[in-house]
Every structure is written in C-alpha cells, then in structure tokens.
Amino acid sequence: MKDRKIKVGLFIPCYINQLYPQVGIATLELLEKLGVDVYYPQGQTCCGQPLGNSGYEEDSKGICNLFVENFKAYDYIVGPSGSCIYHVKHHFDILEQTPEVVRVRENAYELCEFIVKILGKTDLGASFPYKVGLHKSCHGLRGLKLGSCSELKGDHYSTEEDLLNEVKGLELMSLNRKDECCGFGGTFAVFEEAISSKMGKDRVQDHLNSDVEVLTGADHSCLMHLEGIVNRNKQPLKVMHIAEILNSSL
C-alpha cells in the first residue's frame, strides 16, 4: 500500500485573509510544492489571540471552539503566523481538554517549523537575489522556540535562518539587536501608541543600518506594523513574509 500523504489543514489568520492574501497564496503554493495535501477549511476565522491578549479570554471561547472544530480532521494544522500558532498551543488551555482539543494543540505548527521539523527540508529550491533582514517575532522565537534567544546561554540555531540560508542569491544581513521586539503586541499597538511606534521605528532603523533591502519574518502581524512605519516614512525597505521569499524563483 502506498504511504498516505500528509493532510494539512491550512490556517490563514483573519488579518492575512483580509489584508495580505498574497501571504496566504504563497503559503499554500509552497506547501503544495513540498508534496503535502493541503486543505483550506471554509468558515475559519481567527485563533482568539487578540481577545486573549487584551484580557478577554473568556469571550474568546467560541472562537477557540470554532478553530478546533475546523481543524480537528487534519494531521497537522499549519499557519504562516507564529503568534497565532503560539496562542493555539499555549492558551487553548481555557477549553475543556477533549482529545480533539489536545490533538489540535499538539499538531499546530508555524509554517517554517513544519517545513524544517516535520518535512525535514531546508532547501526548497527558491531563489531571491536580495539583501534580507530577518525579524524574529517574539512569540515564534521565545514562545515556539523557533530559534535560540539572545538572553539564554546555549548553541545558536534558527529555523527561519536554516531556510533562508538555502535560498539562492539571498544574503542574510546581521542586525545589531538580533531579537528585540518590534512593538506590535496586538492592541498594544493602539493603546500604547507612542511606545509601539517608537519600537517599530527603532527596529526598522536597525534593518536600514544593516543595509537590508527586504525585511522578512514568519509573523505577518509584526510585519504589518513595521511596513506601516516604512510606508509612512517612505523608507527604502520592502517588507515581505518569509513564505513569499521561500516561494520565489527570481
């Protein structure tokens, strides 16, 4: 009997669905290229993170249950947003831990981690001849442990760097502060507007100082915030999700 192909439920977070369809498209195409069966469950909305982080976890139970309902049938749940996946893994403890909830939490993966850890691939045949700066999003880095954190003693590793280093023509630039937060933080971006904007501005400047042409990352919420600053200030920096780079053949 032939090996059954891996069934992946594609999770496209709400803001990516509405505002950054190209990120969803790149994610889907990339996964298909890698030979997995990708399903996009209709009726998916959000992981509940915006509510949880604002203190309205109780009001997010309906959202979380819907998420489990939508994704319980798949081997893996993969999404191009580290913070959403972190929320599913870490904060779905507010639900009754039925076998379905447990399975969904255990099998939810951020896109890069899924490719490197589950599929065991780093060279995806992409080419992208630009100087790239990697923004390591906090929930992916410190939450999902996609890479080593500058605060902790230990050997260096990075899931996203493993992938980017294999992209033809891509030059990964070294930043001054390797894993400082960009200041997005969900509703923080609005309720602590001054600090949030300043943090974003500082992060963008670090990339500019490091001669970065394209700023990328595995969490588009951070990128949305940084892109907003780049566009407002008309700075010479393009912002792209890592899936778009890994799906490139320029």
Tell me which residues in 31-70 interact with other proteins (CB under 8 A). 40, 42-46, 48, 50-60, 62-63, 65-66
Q: Are strands 7-10 and 76-79 parallel, antiparallel or unpaired?
A: parallel
Kindly state the smallest distance separating residue 56's Cβ from other proteins, in Å. 5
Per CB under 8 A, which of residues 107..126 are in contact with other proteins?
none
Q: Are strands 131-135 and 171-172 parallel, antiparallel or unpaired?
A: parallel
The verdict on 26 binding other proteins (CB under 8 A) reads: no
Q: How many residues bind other proteins (CB under 8 A)?
A: 75
Cα–Cα distance between 80 and 109 in angstroms, integer? Answer: 9
**3-state SS assignment for residue 38:** strand
The verdict on 103 binding other proteins (CB under 8 A) reads: no
Contact flags string 194-213 toward other proteins, x per CB under 8 A: xxxxxxxxx-----------
Contact flags string 229-248 toward other proteins, x per CB under 8 A: x-xx----------------
- Compute the C-alpha angle 123/128/133, nearest 5°: 95
Kindly state the smallest distance separating residue 209's Cβ from other proteins, in Å. 13
Kindly state the smallest distance separating residue 160's Cβ from other proteins, in Å. 17
- Bridge partners for 249 per DSSP: 127
Q: Which two tokens stand for residue 78?
A: 């993969």
Q: What are phi and psi of 76, to 5 degrees?
A: -135, 150
